[in-house]
Amino acid sequence: MRAGGRVSELKARLRAVREGALLYPFTTMKVGGPAELYVEADTSQKLVEAVIAARETGVPYFVMAGGSNLVIDDAGLSGLVIRYTASNLVADNLTIGCEGGLELWALVQEAANRGWAGLENSAGIPGSVGGAVFGNAGAFGHSIGDITESGIILTPANSLETVGNDYFRFRYRHSYLKESGDILLSVKLKFKPGNKEELWKKMKEILALRAEKHPPHDWPCAGSFFKNIEKADEPYGKLAAGILLDKVGAKNLRIGQAGVYFKHANIIVNHGGARFADIRRLANLMRQKVQEEFGITLEEEIRYVDGLGSRSV
Ligand SMILES: Cc1cc2nc3c(=O)[nH]c(=O)nc-3n(C[C@H](O)[C@H](O)[C@H](O)COP(=O)(O)OP(=O)(O)OC[C@H]3O[C@@H](n4cnc5c(N)ncnc54)[C@H](O)[C@@H]3O)c2cc1C
């Protein structure tokens, strides 16, 4: 697949760019074909340069990080894929500032080791801090937006801006980054005083719970496939999509090498060589069954990424 835009000019501008890099190793679902162009940004400066170069040459681009919320087309992607891995961290006075490519788990541990509370419920969520802010990731009634103080973004007009919590318009699995096309370079999070031992005790309990519910680490998946349904009288204000899916027998569904995890009806696992199309068909079947039985339309929490076309995020 070939993108529009001035690809050779972009290649000349980004010296570290690779052609045809396979994307599946960079995802937890282990699905994803070659990127026409691929570059890693291990500093925020490199991220800015890559995004601006893609914009100025008219080449579609896609920014990813931990790849834990993505299902990427096995036919590959045209355009430029930028993987953000910059991970600097500065901590002071109950505040941690870090780059978006930092692993969320590294941040969770850093805060807990300092006895700073606020992110302990996110223990065990894979992916990066930037990806977490993008989708307002969280668990057990808490989300990263609850403690986000500010961020530095690159706007579609190529300006760098510092934005406060309001900008993000956080709600359940949503931030304004999903609408704006802004790229998050770094973020500042504000914690509360806590107790290191108690935080670790809680985190270990959460990790044990997750180990029970989720597939083992070597089973490729993207976590919960569908969003829960917002419902005020349910625990944490959400009706678990997994409960509805379980009631319609989703745990027995499988298409090709894509199957629903036998212990958790809202997780699709890749049994080895699952195709992008199989995963989408399976997800559509799951949604259809819930729609028919309960009249509720499930919405993907994961993001499908196929042929970049003219859309750039
Ligand atoms: C086993 C498992 C368990 C999970 N459990 C949970 C859970 O309990 N709660 C939960 O909320 N999620 C959970 N997830 C989903 C996933 O871990 C989160 O959504 C995570 O925050 C995604 O981060 P990432 O770096 O992997 O993002 P990616 O998958 O790389 O990207 C996701 C989206 O974020 C965008 N993005 C990434 N970085 C940036 C940036 N710097 N600027 C702008 N956009 C950016 C990408 O363009 C993409 O659209 C789970 C996933 C797995 C595999």
Specify the pLDDT at position 229: 93
163-186 confidence digits (pLDDT tens): 999 999 999 999 999 999 999 999
Q: Which amino acid is at 239?
A: L
Q: How far apart are CA 198 and CA 106, in angstroms?
A: 18
- Among the listed residues 44, 78, 175, 224, the single catalytic one is 224
At residue 238 the predicted structure's pLDDT band, cuts being 50, 70 and 90, is confident
Domain boundaries, the chain: 7-86, 89-197, 216-304
Q: For residue 270, what are the β-bridge partners?
A: 258
At residue 308 the predicted structure's pLDDT band, cuts being 50, 70 and 90, is low
**Residue percentage of the chain with pLDDT more than 70:** 98
148-154 vs 183-190, strand pairing mode:
antiparallel
Q: Is 65 in the pocket of ligand 1 (CB under 6 A)?
A: yes
- Among the listed residues 55, 83, 173, 287, the single catalytic one is 173
What CATH number has the domain spanning 216-304? 3.90.78.10
Compute, in angstroms, the gap from residue 64 CA to the centroid of ligand 1: 9
Q: How far apart are CA 226 and CA 223, in angstroms?
A: 9
Q: Tell me, what DSSP letter sits at residue 29?
A: S
Domain 7-86 has CATH 3.30.43.10: yes
142-143 vs 138-139, strand pairing mode:
antiparallel
Q: Is the pLDDT of residue 47 over 70?
A: yes
Specify the pLDDT at position 50: 98
Which atom, in ligand 1's list, is nearest to the CA of 69?
29
Q: What is the mean pLDDT of residues 150-155?
A: 98
124-136 confidence digits (pLDDT tens): 999 999 999 999 9
Q: What is the mean pLDDT of residues 277-296?
A: 97
Q: Of the candidates 66, 200, 189, which has an alpha carbon nearest to the alpha carbon of residue 120? A: 200
Specify the pLDDT at position 311: 43
186-197 confidence digits (pLDDT tens): 999 999 999 999
Architecture field, domain 89-197: 2-Layer Sandwich (3.30)
Q: How far apart are CA 37 and CA 19, in angstroms?
A: 5
Return mean pLDDT, the chain.
95
